Amino acid sequence: MDMAVTKESGLAAGTGSKVRITRVETIPLRVLLTAPVKIASGAARPFVEVLLVRLHTNEGVVGIGETQAWRRQGSAETLASLTRVIEDHFTPHIIGQSPFAAASIMKALDQAIYHSYYAQAPISDALFDLQGKILGVPVYALLGGKCRDTVGGCAVLFIKPTLEETLEGAADFHRRGFRSFTVKVGLDLKADVANVRGIRERFGEDVIIRVDANAVMGFDDALKLLKRIEPYDIDAAEQLLPLHDIDGMAELARRTDIPIMTDECVATDHDLLHVIEKRAATVVQTKVAKNGGLWYSRKLWHIADAAGMRIYPGNHPCTSIATASVTHLAAAWPGPLLDGPFSAGICGGLAEDVVSDPLEVDGHLVKVPDKPGLGVTLDEEKIKRMRADL
């Protein structure tokens, strides 16, 4: 048997079939943000709660994945609950398995705990990371090969007390090369309209503007907002209504020229099919945690593409690990993609990343990593400082 060392990996050729997962390690973290972020639901958040998972193997190769306990409509998870699900219910289905048995592992996890996508996400991505490291190839190679070298990100403008602060934040992003803005709305109709108008007047037709209410608005206020901002050439309005109101979203879509985007109301492929059936949105946002990592997100992209929907690659504020997940998925996607908020955490949102080699960002563009697996390595000292007590 040829025992030559596989390129860029520590495994000899032919040993991949012998690799088995021996330990599932959970790492709960509280990662500080550079400034508290405010969306329409809940108080301002000074940090993001991140759960990392490391899958250890008998060959010493370790895979990593990330999820978040973001807690808004569509997400009730906490760091403690995610940890318990993974350690108590998922681990027995993972230990002793090959990292290449992703299909059977993910099916077993889905059957173990219903609708557990936030907990499944880091397992999914750690499996892909392991596969790439064992084979010595980047994750995008496992998904069909690289179609682009960089992936464009948009700027997220969280709710600020004044128009001046919102415009100041937009100007900072604009100087750095961002040309797409997602404006958080939903608390104050007058302020929302002023923010949108102010950005359009400040930057002209040079920028793309979208709005996002994080599912908190009622139908009347949502329709009123859409009608008032229609003159400002809005590219999409994201999840204005609560996640259960698909019929309301469809009615909004019929009564405005602004395309409707879905986010919180789509966790599963069945959710997306329901949105498509109702013609409730023409744009879909996915997130690593919300949609179960690479394993499930890729399926959603294919469904959306078949339905003629535009794809908006997203994330909750996250570290380079979850950002790398979307970057690889986008790199291997042959079709068009919108500049999405998948990199909001590493584009100035985090006070400190958890990896020793953060993804490279040039303006609004994230460079696709070419190292094996996801292409990032945990920094043990940073993890010690950020570890959360459960």
Task: Give the per-residue pLDDT at 258.
Answer: 98
> Do residues 130 and 163 both lie within one domain?
no
The count of C-alpha atoms lying within 13 angstroms of the C-alpha of 305, restricted to the half-sphere facing its C-beta, is 12
Task: Give the per-residue pLDDT at 2.
Answer: 33
In-domain check, residue 209: yes
Residue 125: domain span: 16-140
Nearest to 181 by CA among 163, 165, 203, 160: 203
CATH of the domain at 289: 3.20.20.120
Q: Is the pTM of this model over 0.85?
A: yes
Determine the average pLDDT of the residues in 15-33.
Answer: 93
Please report, rounded to a whole number, the percentage of residues in the chain having pLDDT higher than 70.
Answer: 96
| Confidence category of residue 131, pLDDT binned at 50, 70, 90 | very high
In-domain check, residue 214: yes
In-domain check, residue 387: no
> CA-to-CA distance for 122 and 28, rounded, in angstroms?
12
Task: Give the per-residue pLDDT at 7.
Answer: 42
For residue 57, give both structure tokens.
């193997």
Contact indicator for 382, 354 with CB cutoff of 8 Å: yes
> Do residues 135 and 190 both lie within one domain?
no
Nearest to 98 by CA among 66, 122, 63: 63
In-domain check, residue 385: no
> Do residues 114 and 226 both lie within one domain?
no
> Do residues 56 and 81 both lie within one domain?
yes
pLDDT digits (tens, 9 = 90+) for 268-310: 999 999 999 999 999 999 999 999 999 999 999 999 999 999 9
Total tally of structural domains belonging to the chain: 2
In-domain check, residue 39: yes
> Do residues 29 and 69 both lie within one domain?
yes
For residue 213, give both structure tokens.
């209410």
Task: Give the per-residue pLDDT at 143.
Answer: 98
pLDDT digits (tens, 9 = 90+) for 304-318: 999 999 999 999 999
Neighbours of 249 (CB within 10 A): 26
* pLDDT above 50: residue 24: yes
> Do residues 110 and 239 both lie within one domain?
no
In-domain check, residue 11: no
> Do residues 190 and 299 both lie within one domain?
yes
> Do residues 154 and 129 both lie within one domain?
no
pLDDT digits (tens, 9 = 90+) for 142-179: 999 999 999 999 999 999 999 999 999 999 999 999 99
> Do residues 156 and 113 both lie within one domain?
no
